[in-house]
Amino acid sequence: MSADRLVGAVGIVTTTIPSGGQGEVRLPARGGSETYGAYNANRGIAIPSGTKVTVTEVYPPRTVVVAADG
């Protein structure tokens, strides 16, 4: 999936994104799903595994910034 198409994509945190650190998210891609390294758009809090998130920025090739939904 191209970087510009990832912005706005909804995924699930698969490895907790710690405060100020990197975790992982699973995002839809190529008819299935792929895992990307992820940082929290609000770096002051952690996002636990299983949380639904939306991609706000992309840093190719495989890193995204996400915001927790809800």
Angle at 64 between CA 48 and CA 55, to 5 degrees: 75
- pLDDT for res 70: 75
- pLDDT for res 5: 87
For 11-48, write each residue's pLDDT tens digit.
Answer: 999 999 999 999 999 999 889 999 999 999 998 899 99
The span from the CA of 37 to the CA of 24, in Å, is: 5
Q: How far is CA 39 from CA 30, 31, 33, 55, in A?
A: 22, 24, 18, 10
- pLDDT for res 1: 58
How many CA atoms within 13 Å lie on the side-chain side of 62? 10
The 3 state secondary structure assigned to 19-35 is CCCCEEEEEEECCEEEE
What fold, for 3-68? OB fold (Dihydrolipoamide Acetyltransferase, E2P) (2.40.50)
Q: Which of the two residues, 40 and 1, has the higher pLDDT score?
A: 40
Q: Model-level pTM?
A: 0.92
- pLDDT for res 49: 98
